[in-house]
Chain A
Amino acid sequence: MSADRLRGVFAEVLGLPPDRVTDATSPDSTSEWDSLAAMNLVAALEETFGVELTTTEIMRMRSVGIVREVLRAKGVADV
């Protein structure tokens, strides 16, 4: 359920069907994940999970799996 929430954010922002989003999804494998999408992802993630990301964290976010790790490390429980 919670995993769906993270995938849902990516699917919505990247305009992809949710089943195409996995933890391995990354900017290198997904043409939709460009710098503009990255900007939108930051805003969507912060809104959805109620966190504020640092630039270090934002720059680390090179795959959905890493985003999950980053959010967990920030204390987001259900991700």
Chain B
Amino acid sequence: MSDPEAEGRLRAKARARAHERALAGGEKADYRVGLAATFTAEPLVPFLLDGLLEGGRRPAVSLAPYNQLHQACLDHRRAFAAPDLDAVVLLWRIEDLLGRELELFLAGDADALPAARARVAQLAAAVASLREAFAGTLVVGAPAFPHSPASDLLDPTGGEGARRFHAEATRAWREGLEGVKDVLTLDLDALQRHHGAARSHDARTWYLYRQPYREEFLALLGGRLAALLVLTRRAPRKCLAVDGDNTLWGGVVGEDGVDGIAIGDEFPGSAYRDFQKLVAHWRREGVLVALLSRNNEADVWEVFDRRPEMVLRRQDVSAWRINWDPKPDNLRALAAELNLGLDSFVFIDDDPVEVERMRAAWPEVLSLALPADPARIVEEVARRRLFERLETTREDRERAAMVADEGRRTELRSRLSPEEFLASLELRVRVFPAAEEHLPRLAQLVNKTNQFNLTTVRRDQAELRALLGSPGCFVYGLTAQDRFGDYGMTGAALLRERGAAWEIDTFLLSCRVLGREVETAFLSALARAAAVRGCRTMVGRFVPTAKNAPAADFLPRHGFARAETGEWTAAAAAIPAVPRHVTLTLED
């Protein structure tokens, strides 16, 4: 029991068991996963549950009967014995699905490969029909390299052995799924390579229970699967607030001097340089970098200016608080300045006390203390996958650049009256019916917008796609630009026709365009579009969350009155007009 990983697995299983007892005791799950596998998957469930719990879900997992992937695809309600699943996960192994074809292939049978491809194509076709019937999240495994004693990874002949078979099966799977929309892939082969093929397999449990994997591998698999599922519903973190001394460089600049700190090619400076490379990578992916340092500000900038070994440049830093105030206060100020919720932040510091202080003050901030040994910093931080997301969109990549524009806007705002400021923006807003090509950004907006969001209904891409074509359902997007730059697609709304009364199911705007009355222009455009289709009354709801106070008074400010039902209603004709400083284009 001195193995910390084994202890971690015991704790994970205990948490999962406690959760399952709570479910059995009547607690409601808020996220239901159906899991089908070609092997005995029960021992995977605790690790999947634990990962989902860690991601803030109250999960329930239903297993399809052993090795019934096709059945699960063709009648998922029956196979999982669960009516309203949020996600379906399908995992298969070459040994199980194509075991016979693999043996024949290794024995030189020329028909084996076409037969294997046909079987894979058949399963892919079943997945396609599941996709038609099931609107939730769909995850499939890409098959791992098979455990084949006749041809393992050490096989020096390479090409013609199991390696070729594995490559062909993987390709057939990918090709079979090419036309199927919104299928997420969990690469079991990558997981197995990461963990080690030889260490992943347990012959004993395979022979006894048809369960092929060692528990260490099941823990990794369950954790990665949970992380993928959580990412379909959770807003990714957007900003790194990072310490300077002994974090971005070795030593304390105020004591050791600009020339005395460690950064560069020699250890320990090389470890800090590599950490900066990781931060620079996040920066390129659209993560904002902010400095939270107890220092004299001039000393810190001198490090950036005078140490050419620094990977991060001054312009990579979007905001900073370099002073002696408590870091939780500074971080709150950064959040206000950057217009981000606290739950968008990751905080990294070498001082565990600072990290604890931050956790105590703002539990929603993901706070991480660096390991004491500089050599372990990069692997320890990278392992946490702090800014992982499903897709990086153009808006993400450009967000960091946009924030620089925001700085110029703030500067201008301070010199003009509010009306003058708004007029000076030359704000142009376009409202349009959302289509196929908007889905990735639409899903991102729906899942990550916390502040200006009336109902905070989260939906993934597949669910949104289903709504696009659905009768009586109108999904709109909004783009905005002004003379400082293009904000991209920053708004979304979903209206539902209920006769002459139209319900505002979803209405949200990215915080990047708040404070400019874009919300008024958006609502006005929607009312106009709905009125054309016979809408007389708009019905809105405000569902308060910890984050959406900025939207709290939106409905009453725009002519909505509270009905006895708790809903807010307004005559479509009474919705305020488009503000004068906004040039609106309504495409409908």
Contact = CB atoms under 8 A, between A and B. Distances in A.
Interface of A: 12, 15, 35-36, 38-40, 42-44, 47-48, 50, 53-55, 58-59
Contacts of A12: 14, 17
28 contacts: A12-B14, A12-B17, A15-B17, A15-B21, A35-B209, A38-B209, A39-B40, A39-B42, A39-B43, A39-B208, A39-B209, A40-B43, A42-B204, A42-B205, A43-B215, A44-B10, A44-B13, A47-B1, A47-B6, A47-B9, A48-B1, A53-B204, A54-B204, A55-B204, A55-B207, A55-B208, A58-B204, A59-B208
Contacts of B192: none
Given A39-B205, A47-B6, 7 more contacts: A15-B17, A35-B209, A39-B43, A44-B10, A47-B9, A47-B10, A48-B1
Contacts of B211: 39
A53 B207 CA distance: 14
Interface string B20-40: 010000000000000000001
Nearest to B20: A15
A7 B1 CA distance: 17
Contacts of B42: 36, 39
Which 3 residue pairs spanning A and B have beta carbons closest together? A47-B6, A39-B209, A36-B42
Contacts of A59: 208
Contacts of B40: 39
B2 to A, nearest CB: 8
Nearest to B6: A47
Contacts of A48: 1
A40 to B, nearest CB: 7
Contacts of A39: 40, 42-43, 205, 208-209, 211
A58 B43 contact: no
A44 B13 CA distance: 10
Nearest to B205: A39
A51 to B, nearest CB: 12
Contacts of A55: 204, 207-208
Interface string B206-227: 0111010001000000000000
B14 A50 contact: no
Contacts of A43: 43, 215
B520 to A, nearest CB: 57
Among A35, A43, A47, max chain B CB count under 10 A is at A43
Contacts of B204: 42, 53-55, 58
Nearest to B214: A43
Nearest to A58: B208
A36 B579 CA distance: 65
Nearest to A50: B1
A75 B14 CA distance: 27
Contacts of A42: 204-205
A54 B40 CA distance: 19
A40 B215 CA distance: 10
A36 B17 CA distance: 14
Interface in B162-210: 204-205, 207-209
B248 to A, nearest CB: 40
Nearest to B40: A39
A39 B21 CA distance: 19
Contacts of B43: 39-40, 43
B470 to A, nearest CB: 41
A38 B204 CA distance: 13
Contacts of B209: 35, 38-39
A12 B10 CA distance: 11
Nearest to A49: B1
A50 B1 CA distance: 7
A59 B204 CA distance: 11
A41 to B, nearest CB: 11
Contacts of B14: 12
A10 B13 CA distance: 14
A43 B202 CA distance: 11
Contacts of B208: 39, 55, 58-59
Nearest to A54: B204
A44 B9 CA distance: 10
Contacts of A54: 204
Interface in B224-273: none
Contacts of B17: 12, 15
Contacts of B215: 43, 47
Nearest to A52: B204
Interface string B396-436: 00000000000000000000000000000000000000000
A11 to B, nearest CB: 11
A53 B208 CA distance: 12
B326 to A, nearest CB: 42
B8 to A, nearest CB: 11
